[in-house]
Amino acid sequence: MWPRPADPNPLPVLGKDPPCAPPAPSSLCSAKRAAAELPAGAAHATPSGGEGRRAETAGHGAGPCRPRRPGALWPRRTMRPGLSRRLLLAALLLLLVWTLFGPSGLGEELLSLSLASLLPGPASPGPPLALPRLLIPNEAACGAPGPPPFLLILVCTAPDNLNQRNAIRASWGRLREVRGLRVQTVFLLGEPGWGSRGSDLVWESAAHGDIMQAAFQDSYRNLTLKTLSGLSWADRHCPTARYILKTDDDVFVNVPELVSELVRRGGRWEQWETGVGPPRKAKAGDEKWDGSPTLGSQPVPLLYLGRVHWRVQPSRSPGGKHQVSEEQWPPSWGPFPPYASGTGYVLSASAVQLILKVASRAPLLPLEDVFVGLSARRGGLAPTHCVKLAGATHYPLDRCCYGKFLLTSHKLDPWEMQEAWKLVGGSDAERTVPFCSWLQGLLGILRCRLIAWLHS
């Protein structure tokens, strides 16, 4: 029986490493093996065919035959440079998309800044609004001695929500001066329903001096009327306030950070420190200070700042508190224009005047935040998105989020309002401790939104 011929290219045996890597045309080892397998006479002949030239060329300049790495069956392969570049570009693109459209809210802020160029020209002023008379006008709320309010906070509340108002008075609503700038808080109410005592509001106003009441039935469907009454009151009785925040009585407001945010958006800090308030003692030839802000040639620009909602369709659910009938908003009009959430939005004094001038030309909707956004659009003013304003999102109590990164948080009961204040506005010793660790500060608002998502 003839012996079985040996396999010229034997497969490697598991557990036994061959002395060299598998044959490769480009290695010197392959060239030497090929020469050894030729007949004796041909081994010393000069290669004349293409195969010989390829073997000689492949072996030229190659290094010695190196043993295989122990335990390896196949040679190591390195990543191609083109593939690594594509992976890097894909990672950068993913990071860009996450930054623009992820929880940071940067993309929404950039998108809101582009709305102004898409708005039509402002409409002509309409007739004066027919607003209800004031039962508790509180004309002296902004007339205290000293500089005018930098920030006026209008809180929409119901007559029966006394505990909620007291929680605000004992927490963020107690602040009267923040970083050298005056802050004033006023509660907006209508008339209580049957079974409630209106005299209690008169007593409450006399005790605290922060109530403004108008003659209309206080209900959710009359929230637009309440907000317009508050804005009209602010324009008439507090005209020197630079910014107006409209919010609700279940919202926690980070007043110090909000003031800092408005200063950054409206001018340099030094302008407000030296420009708002009584000037130095008058000298001969100086004009007498009349109590209005003296900012020189730096007027406060138009500002409509909030958590912007995009392309919201009207609710047609019968009996719902957000219901908008087809007579109020026909289907042919499509979705609502962009507007800021009514839980907390900021208007500059000039924006308040603009909205009041054109509000009578807008359809009167029961949704006050939609109505304000529609009136602002009629006046040529677009909302600016701010991710730090929570909108309808409730954030669990967290010292870093409430003290540093959030300007508002929604759906807090009186107990949570007090606890949030203890976290961020307690004793002077507590305020000296940093709100956030270095890692929390690095994650920023993304961490806060993740916490809210996990608790939702």
Each residue of 146-171: pLDDT tens digit? 888 999 999 999 999 999 999 999 99
The pLDDT of residue 92 is above 70: yes
The pLDDT of residue 255 is above 80: yes
Q: How large is the average pLDDT for residues 219-241?
A: 95
The pLDDT of residue 47 is above 60: no
**Residue scoring higher pLDDT (247 or 25):** 247
* Within a domain: 381: no
Number of domains in the chain: 1
Q: What is the DSSP letter of 242?
A: S
Reported as a pLDDT band with limits 50, 70 and 90, residue 384 is: very high
Cβ atoms of residues 155 and 249 within 8 Å: yes
Identify the pLDDT of residue 320: 85
Three-state secondary structure call for residue 26: coil
pTM: 0.72
* Within a domain: 403: yes
Each residue of 95-142: pLDDT tens digit? 666 555 555 555 556 665 556 556 666 667 878 888 999 999 999 898
* Within a domain: 229: no
CA angle 133, 136, 141 (to 5 degrees): 115
The pLDDT of residue 397 is above 50: yes
Four-residue CA torsion sign, 440, 443, 444, 450: negative
Identify the pLDDT of residue 100: 52
CA angle 13, 17, 22 (to 5 degrees): 80
Three-state secondary structure call for residue 210: coil
Cβ atoms of residues 276 and 148 within 8 Å: yes
What are the distances in angstroms from CA 324 to CA 156, 314, 367, 449? 21, 6, 8, 31
Closest to 335 in 3D by CA, of 300, 309, 359: 309
* Within a domain: 180: no
* Within a domain: 277: no
* Within a domain: 421: yes
* Within a domain: 264: no
Q: How large is the average pLDDT for residues 269-297?
A: 40
Cβ atoms of residues 133 and 233 within 8 Å: no
Closest to 402 in 3D by CA, of 456, 448, 446: 448
Reported as a pLDDT band with limits 50, 70 and 90, residue 45 is: very low
What are the distances in angstroms from CA 386 to CA 197, 310, 349? 40, 13, 19
Reported as a pLDDT band with limits 50, 70 and 90, residue 258 is: very high
For 102-129, where are the alpha helices, taking DSSP H only? 106-113
Identify the pLDDT of residue 13: 52
Domain that holds residue 404: 399-454
CA separation for the pair 452, 456 (Å, rounded): 6
Identify the pLDDT of residue 323: 92
Q: Could you tell me the two tokens for 301?
A: 């620009």
In the chain, % of residues over pLDDT 90: 47
Each residue of 318-364: pLDDT tens digit? 888 899 999 999 999 999 999 999 999 999 999 999 999 999 988 88
CA separation for the pair 300, 375 (Å, rounded): 20
* Within a domain: 406: yes
Q: What is the DSSP letter of 292?
A: S
The pLDDT of residue 295 is above 90: no
Mean pLDDT over each residue of the chain, to the nearest integer:
78
Cβ atoms of residues 151 and 255 within 8 Å: yes
The pLDDT of residue 401 is above 50: yes
